[in-house]
Structure 1
Amino acid sequence: MNEIRIDNITGKQVIIATNRRSRPIDNKNIQQKQVNSKLQYSHSECPFCKGNEAETPCEILKIGDENWSVRVVKNKYPTVTEDGDTIRGYHYVVIETPNHNKKLYKYKAEKWRDIFTAYKDAAYKCFRDKDIRYLQIFKNYGRQGGASLEHPHSQIVALNFTPQSKLMEDKYCKVCEEVESELIEVERIVLDRGNYIVYAPYGSTLQYQLRIALKHHRGSFEEILSEDGIDELSKLFEEVFKIIYESLGDIPLNICYYIYKDGNCYQHFYVDILPRGSFFAGFEMSTEVYINVISPEEAANKFREVTGYVQVSKVEL
């Protein structure tokens, strides 16, 4: 039975329509090839490869010395600039590794630690600008995920305004509310690790979407990525992307980190992992209502085949 759901945090509407999986699709092989297509770029020409550091714009920071692990540079084609008029901010590229062919599912906890350290340091630099109101960190992985270069990288965009979709009109934390609900319902939880849970959100807008959220309210990136916090999150990310690979393969996806200045009291840190196995078409673009042909419960069960997570009975309120 098809049903409409709402993502509790974003407010986005989604129709869970599992029956649409059986609809015919022309040129299926061509479509699949496009989804899995590799980005081609000569290593000698790649501006992000080791030895080509002079080809990138101004370096903001790096982790490591000559044998660097992560570099943060200004984006050569920025969405916003520091000297803008009505809109201004910062747009950085985080070069995650000198290895051109490094796959996401092969990142170890140590690599994630370096990446998160770079995120934290770059975010701190941005937030020193008192005009900055919002900061978005995201990764586009694979052509279908929106990546224009194959070399592993992510991006940071800091803005002097808060996007309309991120304005918090409700005076309570929706992440806390959702986490509490998921811990009670249980059926969509994929991993329960220390301070975090990983789950397929009730209102998942994309197939096999996963959300990583703290069980307890914390919003500041600096607070989350303390010495102990960064180790915990790094180990969790290594585990999560291995699970995704073992369940779905090396798929294109987006990673979106939601960070609020000074740990905004009404929202706390969470991450969305958005596999891009489906396309947004006319219906989604015209109505802003999404269609998901894989229910979150089914998605969670598929991931659980790898994690071995055992569902217990729902907690009674």
Structure 2
Amino acid sequence: MTREDGRPELRRDPLIGGWTIVAPGRSRRPGGGTGARTVKGPCPFCPGNERLTPPEVWAEGEKGRRRDGPGWEIRVFPNLYPALAEAPSAVGKVGRRTLPANGYHEVIVHSPHHDLALARMDPEPAFRLMRAYRLRYRELCRRPGVRQVLIILNHGREAGASLEHPHTQVFALPLVPGAVREELRRLRRAGSRGCPLCAAVEEARREGRTVLENGSFAALAPFSARQPYETWFVPLRHREDFSRAGEKELRGLADILRRTLRGLNELLDDPPYNLWLHSAPCGEEHPYYHWHLELIPRLAVTAGFEMASGMFINPVPPEEAARRLAEAVG
């Protein structure tokens, strides 16, 4: 039974303790469970159509531009169909079965250009986008009740993007999701043996799974990649919190993302993909944690075995995927 007011709710799985967000309002978005797959009418993310989105919370663009008008280069606003309900004063107590899905769900529109994917961005606009990621991450982490901020880029319809115009979604959650909790647990257990992600960078170099490196980041195929061409982007400097990334690191991140995604496009003809950022929980000290990004192209179907077992079948060895992608990157 869903909440009578239609607000989203977090529900705990009684078997493994994970959480599901039940968000009835999401069904109204394009392709959101209603069978709709295309958007009729003007693109709400293009300049001149700002009235079709909620009021912006931040934008970068021309000096003196009118708020919620054209002239922007990056634009941020609340998601029109949020998975989380804004309730700034409600922290919410974790229950045995349910928790109010209080938080924030924002959209970052990458640029005013309808078909300019991150892979094809010039260095400076890509850097400004990474800077916008950090700005929104910092802002949302400071808000009451927020424990985790996730930054997620869905590229292509098969990856869950309901609109073609390149954009990123930011979720500010009232709890630490299971995937991050498990990373925290495993990294904490490593303890004195050292950071597993720092070690993964060294192992990838030795074993031929490095796709690309610059002065700040390594792009690598993980040893136990779940899907073909899964790639991790790991800062070479061990640090727990994305909000502390400096300008040099942001430029390095923009560079390695652009170049890797261009190689992926060259190799696989612009595949759909999901890209997300994991960082330590907001306002907590976890010096053993190492923030990073993960990229999974949507080339294989998640079928019954994967759902039943929690295991994945990857038909492309990570070593081969890394070699092919490194060659495509050049």
The TM-score with structure 2 as length reference comes to 0.76
Segments of 5+ residues of structure 1 without an aligned counterpart are: 1-38, 309-317
**Residue 201 in structure 1 maps to residue 213 in structure 2:** no
Q: Which residue of 2 aligns with 1:81?
A: 85
- SS in structure 1 of the partner of residue 295 of structure 2: strand
The root-mean-square deviation of aligned C-alpha atoms, in Å, is 1.8
- CA shift, 1:195, in A, is 2.2
Paired residue for 1:273, among 295, 306, 327? 295
- C-alpha separation between the residues in 2 aligned to 1:304 and 1:283? 30
Task: Give the equivalent residue in structure 2 for 1:123.
Answer: 137
Count matched residues: 267
Q: Say if 1:207 and 1:294, in contact at 8 Å, map to a contact too.
A: yes
**Correspondence for 2:170:** 156
The residue aligned with 1:106 is 120
Q: Which amino acid aligns with 2:51?
A: A
User: Partner of 1:252 in structure 2?
Assistant: 272
Which position in structure 2 is the counterpart of 1:62?
A: 59
Cα separation, 2, equivalents of 1:249 and 1:237? 17
Could you report, residue by residue, the CA deviation over 1:74-109 in whole angstroms, capped at 9, with x for unpaired residues?
Answer: 011111112265331110011111111223421121
Q: Does 1:243 align with 2:259?
A: no
Deviation sequence 1:259-282 (CA, Å, 0-9, x none): 223573121121111111111011
Alignment of 1:48 onto 2:48: no
Matching residue's letter, 2:46? C
**Structure 2: gaps of 5 or more residues:** 1-36, 66-70, 93-99
The letter of the residue matching 1:239 is R
Range moving further from structure 2, 158-167 or 102-111: 102-111
- Is the aligned partner of 1:169 residue 2:173? no
Which residue is 1:95 aligned to? 109
| 8 Å CA contact 1:139, 1:154 repeated in 2 | yes
**1:288 to 2:310 alignment:** yes
**Separation of aligned partners in 1, 2:155 and 2:110:** 12
Q: Give the whole-Å Cα distance in 1 for the aligned partners of 2:270 and 2:81.
A: 28
Deviates most, 96-105 or 270-279: 96-105
**Alpha-carbon displacement from aligned partner over 1:211-248 (angstroms, at most 9, x marks no partner):** 11012211222321x22222222222221121111221
Partners of 1:215 and 1:228 lie apart in 2 by: 12
Residue 136 of structure 1 corresponds to 150
CA contact (8 A) 2:61 2:73 kept: yes
1:40 Cα deviation (Å)?
4.7
Q: Following the alignment from structure 1 to structure 2, what is the Cα–Cα distance between the partners of residues 169 and 69?
A: 39
Alpha-carbon spacing, 1:129–1:103, altered in 2? closer, same or farther (3 Å)? closer
Greater RCO, 1 or 2 (C-alpha within 8 Å, sep 6+): 1
Report the CA distance between 1:208 and its aligned residue. 0.8
SS in 2 for 1:69: strand
2:321 paired residue number: 299
Deviation of residue 54 (structure 1)?
Answer: 1.4
Q: Secondary structure at the match of 1:178?
A: helix
Three-state SS of the structure 1 residue aligned to 2:301 is: coil
Q: Check the 8 A contact 2:201/2:220 in 1, yes or no.
A: no
Pair 55,157 (structure 1): closer, same or farther in 2 beyond 3 Å: same
Question: What are the residue-to-residue correspondences of 1:18-29 with 2, within 5 Å?
Answer: none
| TM-score normalised by length of structure 1 | 0.79
| Contact map agreement 2:119 2:257 (CA 8 A) in 1 | no
Q: Which residue of 2 aligns with 1:71?
A: 75
Identity %: 32
Aligned residues of 2:227 and 2:314 also touching (Cα < 8 A): yes
1:69 corresponds to which letter in structure 2? E
Q: Is 1:189 the counterpart of 2:210 in the alignment?
A: yes
